[in-house]
Chains A and B, each alone.
Chain A
Amino acid sequence: MDMKSLYLLIALAPLAGSLIAGLFGWAIGRRASHVVTILGVAVSAVLSLKVLSGFISGQTEVFNGSVYTWLTVGGHEYAVGFLVDKLTAMMMVVVSCVSLMVHIYTIGYMQEDPGYQRFFSYISLFTFSMLMLVMSNNFIQLFFGWEAVGLVSYLLIGFWFKRPTATFANLKAFLVNRVGDFGFLLGIGLVLAHFGGSLNYNDVFAAAPALANKTIQIFPGVEWSLMTVTCILLFVGAMGKSAQFPLHVWLPDSMEGPTPISALIHAATMVTAGLFMVSRMSPLFEMSDTALNFVMISGTITALFMGFLGIVQNDIKKVVAYSTLSQLGYMTVALGASAYSAAMFHVMTHAFFKALLFLGAGSVIMGMHHDQDMRNMGGLRKYMPITWITSLIGSLALIGTPFFSGFYSKDSIIEAVAASHLPFAGVAYWALIIGVFVTAFYSFRMYFLVFHGKERWMENHGAHHGHDDDHDDEEPSTDHHHGLGPNDKPHESPWVVTLPLLALAIPSVLIGFFAIEPLLFGDFFKGAITIDALKHPGMHELAEEFHGPVAMAVHALSTLPFWLALSGVVVAWFFYLKAPQIPAAIKQQFSAVHKVLENKYYLDDLYFNLFAKGARALGTLFWKVGDMLLIDGLMVNGTAKLVGVFSRLTRKLQTGFIYSYATTMIIGVLGLMTLWFAGIILR
């Protein structure tokens, strides 16, 4: 099989599964639907692994070719096509493998759901879209995949479409993403307009160096660097998709969707599309320090301030969601520091351990009979041992415990930012350092609340059967799920759920150790990621200090991040297991701060009142005043009335009486004669 057919097969296999389950799921039933979709994704996963191993062993060449011509305009061809290099191959493996795990997990998680086939169809469609996105060799297909994953995300957040909160969340997610796409599309427009008329990556990157000093006038008379404007607009797209401040507001709400897709889409893969895109565009971003600074600022705010929000959440999924936001912020900061490889490295490790944490949370939720409130949990380790161990592994990886995968990627990011020479890097560095403590604190707050301590589901019975009144309004009002009954105990999940947990735990521990050297300091990303080493020497400096993964981990024991992470764990242990009265007292003492955090810095309210309500007010104004009053009332019906009035007047002239006609005639004749006489006299 030639490579093109192979890549086509990788992309299309999940699509085929999706179409079969989606169009004929009603006929072939549940079992056949999950079999066919899992088969499709398994084909992609196996072949992707084969491609990646081919790249690692050096047998596979970079592939860049088109499949079919989508459009021709002005002599340029715009084709659907693939660019598969090591960067793409890595993403393909991450996407297809996590997707495969999530597919298997779904068999257990969704087994009672009436929309079973639909769900499998959606997640396979997502896998197809995401693969098309990462495998694209041009901007148009990138945008295709970009919007397609957004569509599936929309469909899946609103999967339980009866819940008002779910359909609110999915509309919000789609629209916020569209704001990002607005910038993204204009960025693509600038690329088309100024980079020679092609939208193929290679042509654009080849044209870029000559445009380094080109300026354009967005505002008349003000010259801005083309590269800066283009890159910032493209990054606005990434801000939407990868949920960076200030377009991050959709991601926490997206937890309305079933947990498997929170793992797949809203943690491991789709939200990393923006980061992947920026890495792919590194030849452009490298030419604008302004854009890189912009990226770094956005990432810094996200990394730190979203972490704070994770501390006050009581919904287990929300904690993991804010942790995802914060980690995406870390990756974005790395992009800003020109450490694209470190960002992609963290994308990969994060995909595994965050998918693990989400699926673990999902397993807990199942064990708790679809209760998501951590205040009703506690002591679950006895009842759900596999979930417990794997969740612990995921948490340790997340907080950056030496030798775990998250340690290598996160520490590399922090080091890279420390080595960056951008003006904002100093602030970013300290924000990330503080973030380490915050991450450890909220992660282990969750861990201790869920798996250790008192078994609170016994005592809280009445409370969670009704509705917790101090919950925020996104708390899902479950339809057929009720939480544990009076005589129920939490139970470990079936093997289809625990197997993916175990499978994901392995890379969560190991992948960092083995991958760091080739990925960051070898030439794995050579040719895929471009760094201007003269302007941004950070990664080179890091490479000189790197003496192997073991040395790195050992050295880390004497550094600030490690001790901060450790103290985060200890404080969490003390607060939530030893002295639970302390956090309550702090909450009392700093109730104003707590309120701000609980209300997510009031950004949602601001956006809703300003944009959603504002647009409706403006629309009403245009409609009622512009269309109905001015155009229709004054102009259209006004004209009609005027014609009416005029015809009424003229009608009065046509009285039908001989004498009135005669009078008019005589007056007319007299008038003409006057004119005639006047003419004679004047002459």
Chain B
Amino acid sequence: MFTNLLSLVIWTPIVAGLLVLTTGGDQRAPLARWLALAGSLAGFLVSLPLYTGFNDLNGGMQFEEMRPWIQALNINYHLGVDGISMLFIVLNSFTTLMVVLAGWEVIEKRVAQYMAAFLIMSGLINGSFASLDAMLFYVFFEAMLIPMYLIIGVWGGPRRVYASVKFFLYTLLGSLLMLVAFIYMYFHAGKTFEILAFHDMKIALSVQMLLFVAFFLSFAVKVPMWPVHTWLPDAHVEAPTGGSMVLAAITLKLGAYGFLRFALPILPDASRELAWVMVALSLVAVVYIGLVALVQSDMKKLVAYSSISHMGFVTLGMFMFLGTNMNQWAVEGALVQMVSHGFVSAAMFFCIGVMYDRLHSRNIADYGGVANKMPIFAAFMMLFGMANSGLPATSGFVGEFMVILGAVQVNFWYAALAATTLIFGAAYTLWMYKRVIFGDIGNSHVAEMKDVNKREFLVLAILAITVLGMGLYPQAFVSKMHLSVNDLIAHVAQSKL
């Protein structure tokens, strides 16, 4: 029924972005905004049939499209989604809509370019999730860096140049090694970049190890995993609110997705051999980064570190091997955590953005008693803070809960270390909340703060509904991924030596 749905999902926002660019300078900013809203809404709407039309009983690729692209090298425009990637395309299209609303009148300079950058990036991200050709994936994956680089570099804070260059170099260096790995596999698989063909080829363990290291450097930077995470706090602090939202909600997920789509199924033996490293780094992320988040004085940095800590659950869940089998609780928990973190971190960054727009400070010490002036906002932020602390009935709980319960089955101490997030997560989130929101009015600037306007209310309300909805009925997400995850587990369980 939908023959070219994935293409539509990819190109709708890109075309919309180009259209927005044609509005030109800031004298026509209102037009750019409305056009961007229409484009992102269209992008979200065309992504919805992916969810509604998805066949739960099929674990393989759906909505496939196949066209030759560079025939000399056998590179194809091959698209398709399974129950894993489909969720992230919908999530991404949704986040883009939120970002356009979030930046509405906040961005005053180069509005068209700002909106266009997000729309184009949204299409490119959709492309990465939908690619079934490694070269196509690589192109989307790298192209996505450019708009993000610009978003931080043009609309960012005072240290935006340092942050954007750090972000760019960090992620580029990693992905160059991925390209090398792809080229090796291209020849090894008989001159094809088909990802599904990669999944089926035999590779010697020593080669698998090398390829794994290449993938690791590329994806671990994106996730980011300790110790290649230090670009993220800098990038977040300097990025505009919308940039932080997309960065946390989506681009980090691409790293984790890379492990799931490439490293694990192509290199199952190396993945098993090196799982302990991944687990160790993930647990460091949960505990060490959790403690680092506790002592941040900058709200955005705090949430950025909290993102790293939460992403630790994702990589932990993916590499929770019981014998040769990945643990289903843990893998699905990792995926749920990815989606949930998309909502929660976007919401947290948006909340900080709302306050920043009023006070122009991200410093916790500059606030205090915000609840007195912004009660509606305070209520929303309490909800998202609780979701960030993993409270049941919010989406934040489900993924962490599943990963911890999966980890108990593998090793009690993995679970025990991971479960410290119950304490640390609540500590850094609620301590920040206490200092910023509670208390008597902290200073004359806080006294002048006004509660959320209609646009902000809309964004907060939509995000609140998704966070609660996913917490109360995660089955809506999990049922889509069951068969794909089962296939993945069965696939990874087989040795490829």
Give residues in A with beta carbon < 8 Å to B. Answer: 68-74, 140, 143-144, 146-148, 151, 154-155, 158, 161-162, 164, 167-168, 171, 174-175, 178-179, 181-182, 185-186, 188-190, 192-193, 216, 218, 615-616, 618-620, 622-623, 626-627, 631-632, 635-636, 640
Contact = CB atoms under 8 A, between A and B. Distances in A.
B77 interface: no
Contact of A627 (B292, B397, B413, B420): B292
B482 interface: yes
A622 B372 contact: no
Contact of B295 (A69, A168, A620): A620
Contact of B372 (A162, A185, A189): A162
A622 B291 contact: yes
20 contacts: A71-B398, A73-B329, A148-B391, A151-B391, A154-B430, A161-B371, A162-B369, A162-B372, A167-B434, A171-B430, A182-B419, A185-B404, A188-B405, A189-B404, A193-B408, A218-B412, A616-B294, A616-B295, A622-B288, A635-B227
Contact of A623 (B170, B292, B422): B292
Contact of A71 (B426, B439, B440, B475): B475
Interface in B464-487: 472-475, 478-479, 482
A192 B434 contact: no
B393 interface: yes
Contacts of B166: 636
A74 B322 CA distance: 14
Q: In which size bucket is the chain B interface?
A: 35 or more
A186 B419 contact: yes
A71 B393 CA distance: 13
A620 B293 CA distance: 9
A161 B439 contact: yes
Interface string B147-175: 00000000000000000001001100000
B406 to A, nearest CB: 9
Contacts of B437: 161
Interface string B406-434: 01110011011001101110110011001
Contact of B439 (A73, A147, A167): A167
B227 A631 contact: yes
Contact of B431 (A144, A171, A192): A171
Contacts of B405: 188-189, 192-193
Nearest to A616: B295
A516 to B, nearest CB: 36
Interface of A is mostly: helix
Contact of A186 (B416, B423, B424, B438): B416
Contacts of A193: 405, 408-409
Interface of B: 166, 169-170, 227, 230-231, 288-289, 291-296, 328-329, 332, 369, 371-372, 382, 386, 391-393, 397-398, 401-402, 404-405, 407-409, 412-413, 415-416, 419-420, 422-424, 426-427, 430-431, 434, 437-440, 472-475, 478-479, 482
Contact of B392 (A68, A144, A154, A161): A144
Contact of B329 (A74, A143, A144): A74
Nearest to B478: A71
A218 B473 CA distance: 34
A186 B401 CA distance: 10
Given A143-B401, A161-B438, A193-B409, 5 more contacts: A73-B328, A161-B371, A218-B413, A616-B294, A616-B295
A125 B401 CA distance: 23
Contact of A148 (B393, B401, B473): B393
A192 B231 CA distance: 38
Contacts, number: 135
A55 B455 CA distance: 53
B294 A186 contact: no
Given A151-B386, A162-B439, A72 B423 contact: no
B21 to A, nearest CB: 33
A72 B438 contact: no
For the complex of A and B, the 9 pairs showing the least CB-CB separation, nearest first, are A189-B408, A619-B291, A619-B295, A167-B438, A161-B438, A144-B392, A193-B409, A619-B294, A623-B292
Given A74-B329, A167-B439, A636-B230, A619 B292 contact: yes
A192 B393 contact: no
Contacts of B419: 182, 185-186
A639 to B, nearest CB: 9
Contacts of A179: 423
A185 B419 CA distance: 8
A71 B412 CA distance: 23
B423 A69 contact: no
A182 B423 contact: yes
Contacts of B438: 158, 161-162, 167
B171 to A, nearest CB: 13
B412 A72 contact: no
A619 B296 CA distance: 9
Contact of A144 (B393, B402, B427, B430): B393
B142 to A, nearest CB: 21
A631 B170 CA distance: 13
A174 B231 CA distance: 32
B217 to A, nearest CB: 13
A192 B427 contact: no
Nearest to B386: A151
Contact of B408 (A73, A147, A192): A192
Contacts of A140: 401
Contacts of B416: 186
A178 B397 CA distance: 13
A181 B412 CA distance: 16
Contacts of A620: 295
A632 B479 CA distance: 42
A186 B420 contact: no
Contact of A618 (B291, B369, B402): B291
A146 B397 CA distance: 13
A147 B478 CA distance: 23
Given A161-B438, A167-B434, A636-B230, A69 B475 contact: yes
A500 B61 CA distance: 64
A518 B352 CA distance: 57
Nearest to A147: B392
Contacts of A144: 392-393
A174 B478 contact: no
B103 to A, nearest CB: 28
B291 A185 contact: no
A168 B438 CA distance: 10
Contacts of A190: 408, 412
Nearest to B295: A619
A71 B475 CA distance: 5
A631 B422 contact: no
Contact of A147 (B296, B391, B434, B473): B391
A73 B402 contact: yes
A622 B424 CA distance: 14
B473 to A, nearest CB: 7
A418 to B, nearest CB: 37
A632 B163 CA distance: 12
A277 B295 CA distance: 36
B392 A148 contact: yes
Given A69-B475, A186-B415, A193-B408, A174 B329 contact: no
Contacts of A182: 419-420, 422-423
A70 B397 CA distance: 13
Nearest to B371: A161
